[in-house]
Structure formats: C-alpha cells, structure tokens
Amino acid sequence: MLQTEFDFSLPRGYVDSDGNLHRDGVMRLATALDEIAPTKDPRVQSNPNYLVIILLSRVITRLGSVEQINPKIVEGIFATDMAFLQDFYRRINEDGTGNIKTVCPKCGHEYEVEDKNLGEV
C-alpha cells in the first residue's frame, strides 16, 4: 500500500497565540492541484516567494494540536522549521520517504535513517 502521510517533528516548533509549542505534525503527499492552485493566489502573483507558504498550508494536515493549517499558521513558523519543512516536502514527494539516505564513514555501507528527531535543538 502506498504511504501518503508522513510524520515529522520540527527542530524548534510552532508557537501559537497562547504560547503553546507544537512540534509533531503530519504532511501528506502533494497532488498536482496542490502545486498548481497556489499560482492563482494573488499573494503568490505579487510575491512568488509566497508560493511555499500556500503549498505547505495545503499539505500539512496536522501540527501538534492544531488541525486546521492555514497560511497564517505557516507564516508563523520559524525560519529553521521552514527550511526543514521544505526539505521534508521535497523528500516525501520525490523519494517517497521521509528518511534520510546516508553512508557509514567507516565501512561505506549505505542506509536510511528516520529523521523524526534529527533536527532537535
């Protein structure tokens, strides 16, 4: 069965308006519509860099106890977490996994590691 949702844990976490920290979330695979629809958004048309905000707000299905992810939530994510989410999006949509491919520096064995908590600070 094809995995379409992937768990992640933000390095820093999203702080909501009540001061609650949210780190663990779920991102689903993107559809063609997820990548095309934001280009019609006036915010993206006036600032192409905003595309990633709209795109991530469409594919993140949960962040901590926040279940309704919208562009305003994504706007409030720390830059470190934004970079993490962009990389995570690329990995699950291109590679089909949230794991990181790596090589043992001593023996040269290739393997994958789950990145769930690699970015913790």
Q: How many domains does the chain have?
A: 1
Q: What is the pLDDT of residue 106?
A: 73
What are the average pLDDT values for consecutive 10-residue runs of the chain, which has 121 residues?
Answer: 93 96 97 96 96 98 95 97 97 75 66 51 41
Which positions ≥6 away from 4 have C-beta within 8 Å? 28, 29
Amino acid at 106: K
Dig out the tokens for 17 from the structure: 């308006």
pTM: 0.79
Domain contains 118: no
d(CA 46, CA 52): 14
- Residue ranges making up the domain that contains 62: 5-113
Residue 83 lies in a domain: yes
DSSP letter at 66 equals B
Give domain status of residue 60, yes or no: yes
pLDDT of residue 14: 97
Tokens 């040269």 locate to 108
